[in-house]
Amino acid sequence: MGQYTSGAEAVMNRKEIIIWGAFAIIFLCILFFAFHQKATDSAVKKGSEDFYQQAVRKFDPVEYHSQRAYAFDAEHSFKLAAEEYKKLLELKPEDKNLHIHLACVYYKMGKKEQAATEMKEFLKHDPYDRSQWENLGDLYLELADNEMALQAFEESLRINPENAFCSGKVGKLYYQKGEYGSAIRAFEKSLAIDPGAGEYHLELGLCYVAAGDADGAEKQKQILKNLKREDLYVKLSEAMQNENNKGAPPSH
């Protein structure tokens, strides 16, 4: 009777093994088909994307290169973005804005000279864009080319004279050149637009000091006092005192 029980148990164990083996095979089949379907879907999707890209490239190359340029730019792949913008310029040489896009990419790459070149190309198409003239001036300042910066700022002011900030940049450049009369006129224009700008009163006062016009400097100092710009008032006072000390006879 004990041997019979042992044999029955063996049969039951074989059945369990078969059942569990069947479950395992079914489970593996399910996994296989799931992964196979996922791989198939991925391949179909990639194939569809490739087909779409090929179609766009063939029938609308401008859209194709535009998408790539924007994508590379967003990924900070600026060299690749620049190449795409160049291809777009070959396709659409009349599109002035592409020069600005390319200039921005060059600037991000640290190629400021090339950026300036592209900005000038844009301005050939649109010479009345005062903002881009001012941006070009700022770029030349970064390149330490003050003469070109001055020309760009003055061009911007010819288009829009009511730009106190740009006029102030012109004043500073003339001051650095030692052309105090031109600097004074530039700062006076800035103050005609924004009379409460203490910084321009200081700059104008410093121009008067450099030009040897003590009365003009004193007037600006009093304006700064009335504006309660103590910090600027002190700076101008110190500059005037230093200038007076230069002309004073040596002490014994």
CB 112 within 8 A of CB 141: no
CA atoms within 13 A on the CB side of 138: 10
| Sequence-separated (6 or more) residues with CB below 8 Å from residue 102 | 82, 85, 86, 89, 118
The range of the structural domain enclosing residue 69 comes to 59-111
Q: Does residue 100 form part of some domain?
A: yes
Of the candidates 189, 191, 209, 212, the one whose C-alpha atom is nearest the C-alpha of residue 200 is 191
| CA–CA gap between residue 45 and residue 4 (Å, rounded) | 61
**pTM for the complete prediction?**
0.74
**Other CB atoms within 10 A of residue 95 CB:** 14
Q: Does residue 92 form part of some domain?
A: yes
Q: Does residue 156 form part of some domain?
A: no
The tens place of each residue's pLDDT in the chain, 252 residues long, gives 444 445 555 545 666 666 666 666 776 666 555 554 554 344 334 433 454 455 445 558 889 899 999 999 999 999 999 999 999 999 999 999 999 999 999 999 999 999 999 999 999 999 999 999 999 999 999 999 999 999 999 999 999 999 999 999 999 999 999 999 999 999 999 999 999 999 999 999 999 999 999 999 999 999 999 999 999 999 999 999 998 887 654 443
Q: Does residue 76 form part of some domain?
A: yes
Q: What pLDDT does 44 receive? A: 35
Q: What pLDDT does 131 receive? A: 97
CB 105 within 8 A of CB 82: yes
Q: Does residue 40 form part of some domain?
A: no
Q: Does residue 244 form part of some domain?
A: no
Q: Residue 249 gets which letter from DSSP?
A: P
| Sequence-separated (6 or more) residues with CB below 8 Å from residue 63 | 56
Q: Does residue 174 form part of some domain?
A: no
Encoded tokens for 152: 């760009």
Q: Does residue 83 form part of some domain?
A: yes
Q: What pLDDT does 245 receive? A: 83
Structural domain count of the chain: 1
CB 100 within 8 A of CB 78: no
